[in-house]
Structure 1
Amino acid sequence: MELRDIEIFLTLADELHFGRTAERLHITPSRVSHVIKKQERRLGVQLFERTSRTVRLTPPGQRLRDELLPAHRRILQALDRTAAEGRTEAGELRVGYSGPWCAELLLRAAQELRGRHPGWSVRIQEIQFNDLYGPLHRGELQLQITEFPVFEPGLAAGPVLLQERRALMLPADHPMADADTVSLEDLAEVPLLRLQGDHPKPQMDFHFPPTTPMGRPIPRGPSYTSWYEIPVLVAAGFGASIVAARIADYHARPGVAFVPFRDGPTLDYGVLLPAAAPAPLVPAFVELLRSLAEGDGGR
């Protein structure tokens, strides 16, 4: 069944009138009738009950309409997005990140994108902890790579790109600082710094657990609003922070130690997007990020 024939069927199913269907599609009523009869012959079932005064869907016709309608809408949306990309010869993607390794992935994807679409540029900015999702909500960014899970209305999670081993950032003079590894149970022995602000409880409990797996309470340390406060607070002995183990390659400094966890989940970074339809080239850019991340083995 051709796409145009599907459109004729769905329009008639909506109008239930051959004349109005023909007018809406800018064709003749006889063309509508011919297409419907051809569909019925091909399917071996009557789709419409017709009289001189009324047109009604048969039960098989209703089922066909209900199954075709969402698929037809998705096809049209896909065609519209592709056409929009084709019409857009120049533009700017605005993307954000919350980890330096995410920035490196974005820079590589931006270079690839500019090679494929020379008229496009990519603006990359760091996401601040005190405004994690504001730029996406305000339309200042079109996507960001951030820590998962995310529980935020109006935003949609895309693919996970990077899975990082977690570590505990400790004061260098803490008794656990010389250990080869630490356990989630060890969190009961040191105050845990927390992100300041009102965030969904499931998300906070994942990144800042209130208890160990065995139910022992984890002491609460001071809160912070930006990454740059964390090593300062840790070095001063105010507490510890759960971080990606790779952060030691970027932010090692006197007074802090990084000890990897031997248990617990990875720290996952994925694409976060507005829930509304994506802007031109965003789907292509997300696929490019996925491809590059997979080529790195998720690292």
Structure 2
Amino acid sequence: MERHEIEAFLTLAEELHFRRTSERLGLAQGRVSQTIKQLERRIGVPLFERTSRRVTLTPVGRELRDDLAPAYRQVEAAYARAVAYARGVDGVVRVGFSSQWVADLVLDAGKEFRKKYPRCVVELHEVPLNNPLGPLRAGDFDLQLSEFPVAEPDLTTGPVIFSEPAALLVPARHPFARRDAVSVEDLAKTTLVTIAGDIPPLWTEHIYPRQTPSGRPIPHGASAPGFPEVQSLVASGAGVSIASLRARDYHARPGIVYVPLRDAPPIEYGLIWPTTRHTARVCAFVDAVLTRASRPAG
């Protein structure tokens, strides 16, 4: 396989959308489609199932993705290390994090990074939930580890680093608070409290859906600029909200109960950096995060 075929296949396997894949790769959509078709002809079986509404991996496609992705990341990391060594990695790398559990992983990765590149300094900065991409675009961060999905033409996304089960924040006296778990369909019976600000619609629609899988509308109510304000609104009875289930370990407070959303997709976290600022430091820190994430915690 040629490098451009590997990149096209793995990016499409992640995005499952030809337009977003072409935007990430900076190629025409027809070129991506042609590359995938040529690869499928050479392998001899379809790698993707395509309809007018969706793109999915075939069983062979899933197996190829699972076999190929780790090896490709190793090649990319080896290349980045060689470039970093040749150029000399020094200076400050500014890393954004969107939650405390993300910060824990970034801190661990930073320790490994500093051992390898002692001339570098790692600075951590919290990503504002009401403007999750603004500081990155403004140059305040070199890269960040935060919630997916992100599909912006000026930003590059790495692989999913880890994922967490979703949960519903409900007032302690709410009927849902007495359940072991709730369904996404139950959201039609509630009012969602959301984060508001300069947030890409793709992210908002994914985290705070406006309808259930069966098509029932989900009412949206009050909004807030950050998570502490969301908690206060929920505790006051203004509605319920969606967050990572892991938030209860870091943000437990009176008046709120975290109830697992048993059939909701997990909340995924990945690395993001400006495409035009793909520096040796960024490559090296991405490698450090991938290395740390591949090992068990502790």
Question: TM-score scaled by structure 1?
Answer: 0.70
| Secondary structure of 2:242 counterpart | strand
CA drift at 1:254: 0.2
Matched residues in 1 for 2:115 and 2:201: separation?
A: 42
| Secondary structure of 1:252 counterpart | coil
Matched residues in 1 for 2:198 and 2:179: separation?
A: 34
CA contact (8 A) 1:97 1:145 kept: yes
CA contact (8 A) 2:93 2:282 kept: yes
Answering whether residue 236 of structure 2 is matched by residue 246 of structure 1, we say no
CA 1:93–1:191: 2 relative to 1, 3 Å: same
Give the corresponding residue for 2:232: 232
CA drift at 1:138: 1.1
CA drift at 1:262: 1.2
User: Which stretch shows the higher mean deviation, 191-200 or 249-258?
Assistant: 191-200
Give the corresponding residue for 2:118: 118
| Secondary structure of 1:218 counterpart | coil
Give the corresponding residue for 2:195: 195
For 2:144, the aligned partner's letter is: Q
For 1:156, the aligned partner's letter is: T
User: Which stretch shows the higher mean deviation, 158-167 or 145-154?
Assistant: 145-154
After superposition, residues 133-152 of structure 1 pair within 5 angstroms as: 133-152=133-152
CA contact (8 A) 1:192 1:208 kept: yes
For 2:101, the aligned partner's letter is: W
| Secondary structure of 2:221 counterpart | strand
After superposition, residues 179-190 of structure 1 pair within 5 angstroms as: 179-190=179-190
| Secondary structure of 1:153 counterpart | coil
| CA deviation string 1:11-55 (max 9, x = no partner) | xxxxxxxxxxxxxxxxxxxxxxxxxxxxxxxxxxxxxxxxxxxxx
CA 1:258–1:286: 2 relative to 1, 3 Å: same
| Secondary structure of 1:295 counterpart | coil
CA drift at 1:202: 2.9
| Structure 2: runs of 5+ lacking an equivalent | 1-77
| Secondary structure of 1:258 counterpart | strand
CA 1:234–1:79: 2 relative to 1, 3 Å: closer
| Secondary structure of 2:293 counterpart | helix
CA 1:223–1:132: 2 relative to 1, 3 Å: same
Give the corresponding residue for 1:129: 129
The structure with the larger Rg is 1
CA drift at 1:277: 4.4
For 2:224, the aligned partner's letter is: Y
Give the corresponding residue for 2:15: none
CA 1:116–1:194: 2 relative to 1, 3 Å: same
Give the corresponding residue for 2:296: 296
| Structure 1: runs of 5+ lacking an equivalent | 1-77
Matched residues in 2 for 1:95 and 1:182: separation?
A: 35
| Secondary structure of 1:177 counterpart | helix
CA drift at 1:80: 9.7
CA contact (8 A) 1:151 1:203 kept: no
| CA deviation string 1:160-219 (max 9, x = no partner) | 111101110111110011100000001011111122135443322111100111111111
Give the corresponding residue for 1:175: 175
For 1:93, the aligned partner's letter is: V
Matched residues in 2 for 1:175 and 1:224: separation?
A: 24
CA drift at 1:135: 1.3
| Secondary structure of 1:254 counterpart | coil
Matched residues in 1 for 2:79 and 2:167: separation?
A: 45
Matched residues in 1 for 2:225 and 2:152: separation?
A: 18
